[in-house]
Amino acid sequence: METLANQILKLAAGLSEGAPLVAKELLHLSGRATVNRALSRLARQGALVRVSHGIYALPVVNRFGTGAPSVAKMVEGLARLSGETIVSHGATAANALGMTTQVPIREVYLTSGRNRRLKLGAQTVELRHAPSWQLMFPERAAGAVIRALSWMGPEHAGEAIQKLRAKLPAFEWKEIASVRACLPTWMAQKVNTLVSPG
């Protein structure tokens, strides 16, 4: 008969990179306490990576050896599993949009869930709870602009909007304008300049 550890590893091998493994998803194999012990033992042996309390993932094997899954894939998998909205931090969004040359030192994501940290090899990823307006349009440039403006603050937002005006398609600006009522007053005022005549 196949051991619980082997059953867990076989299931993990069928998942995409960064897909989180949690005891709740494995209760068809055995009881909660037994599954927890098996996951913990597999992590100690290096067969799994312990990402956070109760969350594991299969390590990735590449030409450099064995390591943790990519941060982006892990965060994506966690969002799918938990049903949370998880998006890049405003500093990352600003860098991606060319609004700053600063590259964030730490990996920080905004989430609709609770604050917590993920450990992926030597890297620590921080998930910070954020208000719903910062999580709007998670997969869109419009959302990245909102998060970047939030990070830049009222002093630099006007200048940033002018720089981005020509870069982004009109429909993205329309999306941002459509949620003005949800944005902080200072940001809504800056967005108004985009849609006001003249």
Tens digits of residue pLDDT in 108-119 = 999 999 999 999
For the cut 90, the answer to whether the pLDDT of residue 44 exceeds it is yes
Mean pLDDT taken over the chain? 90
For the cut 70, the answer to whether the pLDDT of residue 1 exceeds it is no
Question: In the structure, what pLDDT confidence band is assigned to residue 177 with cuts at 50, 70 and 90?
Answer: very high
SS3 50: strand
Which pLDDT value is given to residue 87? Answer: 97
Question: In the structure, what pLDDT confidence band is assigned to residue 197 with cuts at 50, 70 and 90?
Answer: very low
Place of tokens 């921080």: 126
For the cut 50, the answer to whether the pLDDT of residue 33 exceeds it is yes
For the cut 60, the answer to whether the pLDDT of residue 196 exceeds it is no
Question: In the structure, what pLDDT confidence band is assigned to residue 193 with cuts at 50, 70 and 90?
Answer: confident
Structural domain boundaries in the chain: 4-67, 84-198
User: Cα separation of 194 and 184, whole Å?
Assistant: 16
- The structure tokens listed for 145 are 């602009």
CATH top-level class for 4-67? mainly alpha
For the cut 80, the answer to whether the pLDDT of residue 155 exceeds it is yes
**pTM for this predicted structure:** 0.86
Measuring CA to CA, how many Å separate 21 from each of 57, 70, 81, 96, 103? 6, 15, 9, 30, 31
Question: In the structure, what pLDDT confidence band is assigned to residue 147 with cuts at 50, 70 and 90?
Answer: very high
For the cut 50, the answer to whether the pLDDT of residue 198 exceeds it is no
For the cut 60, the answer to whether the pLDDT of residue 136 exceeds it is yes
Q: What percent of the chain has pLDDT over 70?
A: 97
Taking every pair of Cα atoms in the chain, the longest distance, rounded to a whole number of angstroms, is 75
Residue type, position 63, single letter: R
Answer left, alpha or beta for residue 26, where phi above 0 means left and psi between -120 and 50 means alpha. alpha
Cβ–Cβ contacts within 10 Å for residue 45, how many?
9
Cβ–Cβ contacts within 10 Å for residue 167, how many?
12
User: Cα separation of 82 and 25, whole Å?
Assistant: 12
Cβ–Cβ contacts within 10 Å for residue 123, how many?
12
Which pLDDT value is given to residue 121? Answer: 83
Decide if 78 contacts 20 (C-beta within 8 A).
yes
Picking from 30, 87, 80, 28, the residue whose alpha carbon sits closest to that of residue 55 is 80
What's CA 28's distance to the chain center, in Å? 29
